[in-house]
Structure 1
């Protein structure tokens, strides 16, 4: 099981150390749960009965949550006794002292941005629940003599074997843009390539590799790095050299900064043109904005460039202009915070028929996503689901079923700190996910999954069970009329 935490790459050593300690404690607790209580509770259970196993796991976890609440309540009561009654004294606040500056207060209160929802606490040991559920699914596949992806599909479709299966399209990260770098662009966290559906996975991966090699060549070549052309025109190339090519990110791709979105996209276009490819025909782009990392809560606005801020409504207008100008961008991941529900609805109505508007950060806690038969997040085209913590296989089956019914796409994604286990690929294939977001084509834990996806493609093709994928956008503006789907992507040109 991958860790739940998301520690920035430039985090302080003490932060990394504290996170590592928390991770170790969680693993040790999870091992205790498995070796003791779960080992006894699950003994003699039929491993093909995933629902029963996950029900037992869910009840066990709920009891652990209650135990933790009781302990916290007792500790709080004990602390009150130790502290004694709180002292009452009044102090004037800075706002009271600065009462004359009422104009600024009014401007903030006119349209305040909703505060960030507090992060859900992660119960130590929760990895045992997700890990055990997945182990049972693997055991069920083994005793049924079928691969895990087919076993997952049978579980989702009530043991009805599908005649054909569609591979999820890979979302391959080629650039990781550091938001804390000296460069100005903050709006983009990941630049992701999506091959056309008409290509085989093998062909698509090879095409991505060719583009990645060309980008690397351009970045390593003097005068070709971001910012160099503009600087050279001003005669400043020697005085202010562009930042050097950075390391391979934890996402398995190059890490580098840019000064503007246009600079980034034009360089990608140039890299494709250099090898005879065209963005929007031979390859498509997705942009992970990770907007929750952009919000300046003092201003109530997003910082898209150094010193440049936009309100949520202005962000929507900016994205509309961006997609109209660069139609080869067919997906935006987290273009807004999950709290900006009104703006999510606006951007989906404006752009839903042209690209996917995908929620990732809002879906971190899978156990909190479902309410009755609905998904408790803002309007969106699709959701990135990650198999972490207390997530169970049954949870993914239920959630993807709801998303299918609501015409939202499912994306299975790797957590930041991924393991080398390949099960995520089988789950994505079996659940019928539209995309698989695995990061870049470097680092063993990510390459292993791409290799597994290639192996599944070969197996399905050999059995005559491989069905071609489709990319269809939902026209939210006409959602009152069911079935409003558009496939707007043209067939690729053969290079």
Structure 2
């Protein structure tokens, strides 16, 4: 029998942008407890579960005291006394209300069993350390004032261990920062966007791509490029498709995320075929929803799924989306959010679910490094194998 929930507490804390988010603590019998901190996204699609915000003057309307009250008054009354493995079935409501509870319960259940979170999630299934997709340059909603494209990432396609993968992308980012300093001055090489990436002035979408390709070439390392278009946030995404195809023919691009909006199934079918055999990831398109993943597969839309637990609101919901992706032979990428926290649970999710890939930001800023450091520890001390690209 799974241990039962004995208490649920919540509080308002701050994410990496300094905006309010939820902290949650859950206790189980006979005494195991755990905390979880909820991430928040800036680039959000219409199909993901929304957060609950207070409105009004506090924190420009971004306060979450109402969400805290909902957890302690409604959710706690609903789940106290229930077995930990049944809690997710009882959760519904705003994402920041449900995800903190869901994650804290999973962590507490792992603690009660005396195993790490990844092992609790994996059960008897296989596990692996994910190949990282690491942010080098940012634009869009992650670096306001920059270009249209949201992220340009380095993918260590030739690394044979997680430690080697991190060294490869670190060297690429270091060289990219040197190129930025030479072109725009040292200040621009030290300013960072929401996920720790570099940003360039001027709004030119191709310049960061060209500079990243140059940095990779000058390091001589086997590293590819991934692009997150975040087309839902782009006024005319259709106009970008020809540009993306040209870029894919010119630069070492191995993955493209959200090249079109989140409702254009026919357009996604065409762009997936056009960009093949590259990885084409659906983020806003799927919103970590298993039914939308299955619909996408029927259309031949995308060939990989970004898995963001806060898009769906529970760990079990996120795992269902990942399982649906695996059933149709789509790749899976577990992802953090642009407004994240020092909570490193997402690293254990990627390992325990054997996702193959992870996307948590740059090798800069402690809320990003917390996840990478967790994975480095799991490789060094627990001996978990590395998935290698393509995951």
TM-score when scaled to structure 2? Answer: 0.77
Cα 1:341–1:3 shift into 2, 3 Å: same
Aligned to 2:24: none
Flag structure 1 segments of 5+ consecutive residues without an equivalent.
9-15, 62-122, 155-160, 226-240, 296-300, 303-311, 473-495
Aligned to 1:323: 248
Aligned to 1:201: 162
Is 2:341 aligned against 1:419?
yes
User: Distance in 2 between the 1:356 and 1:29 partners?
Assistant: 40
Larger Rg: 1
Aligned to 2:193: 249
Moved over 6 A (4+): 16-19, 179-183
SS in 2 for 1:361: coil
User: Distance in 2 between the 1:173 and 1:373 partners?
Assistant: 25
Is 2:45 aligned against 1:6?
no
Alignment RMSD: 3.1
User: Distance in 1 between the 2:256 and 2:173 partners?
Assistant: 20
Is 2:5 aligned against 1:43?
no
Is 2:276 aligned against 1:356?
no
Contact 2:265 2:296 in 1 (8 A): no
Aligned to 2:265: 341
SS in 2 for 1:441: coil
SS in 1 for 2:62: helix
User: Distance in 2 between the 1:294 and 1:423 partners?
Assistant: 31
1:29 CA drift (Å): 2.4
1:294 CA drift (Å): 2.3
SS in 2 for 1:143: helix
Cα 1:389–1:285 shift into 2, 3 Å: closer
User: Distance in 2 between the 1:283 and 1:191 partners?
Assistant: 13
SS in 2 for 1:388: helix
| CA offset digits 1:71-100 (Å, max 9, x no partner) | xxxxxxxxxxxxxxxxxxxxxxxxxxxxxx
Match of 2:351 among 397, 407, 429: 429
Cα 1:273–1:144 shift into 2, 3 Å: same
Aligned to 2:27: none
Contact 1:176 1:189 in 2 (8 A): yes
Aligned to 1:56: 90
Aligned to 1:140: 109
Contact 1:177 1:258 in 2 (8 A): no
Contact 2:136 2:152 in 1 (8 A): yes
Contact 1:178 1:255 in 2 (8 A): no
SS in 2 for 1:415: coil
User: Distance in 1 between the 2:186 and 2:177 partners?
Assistant: 15
1:42 CA drift (Å): 2.3
User: Distance in 1 between the 2:159 and 2:101 partners?
Assistant: 38
Cα 1:3–1:334 shift into 2, 3 Å: same
- Give the total of aligned pairs: 342
Cα 1:245–1:146 shift into 2, 3 Å: closer
Contact 2:293 2:325 in 1 (8 A): no
User: Distance in 1 between the 2:337 and 2:118 partners?
Assistant: 20
Match of 2:214 among 270, 285, 294: 270
| CA offset digits 1:443-465 (Å, max 9, x no partner) | 1111111111111222442xxx5
TM-score when scaled to structure 1? Answer: 0.62
User: Distance in 1 between the 2:349 and 2:339 partners?
Assistant: 18
Match of 2:127 among 136, 142, 165: 165
SS in 2 for 1:321: helix
1:417 CA drift (Å): 0.9
1:261 CA drift (Å): 5.3
User: Map of 1:398-477 to 2, 5 A cutoff?
Assistant: 398-461=320-383, 465-466=384-385, 468-471=387-390
User: Distance in 1 between the 2:347 and 2:319 partners?
Assistant: 14
User: Map of 1:10-409 to 2, 5 A cutoff?
Assistant: 20-24=59-63, 27-47=64-84, 50=85, 52-58=86-92, 61=93, 123=94, 126-154=95-123, 161-162=124-125, 164-177=126-139, 186=148, 188-196=149-157, 198-221=159-182, 224-225=183-184, 245=189, 247-257=191-201, 260=204, 263-275=207-219, 277-278=220-221, 282-295=222-235, 301-302=236-237, 312=238, 315-326=240-251, 328-353=252-277, 355-364=278-287, 366=288, 369-371=289-291, 374-375=294-295, 379-388=301-310, 391-409=313-331
Aligned to 2:31: none
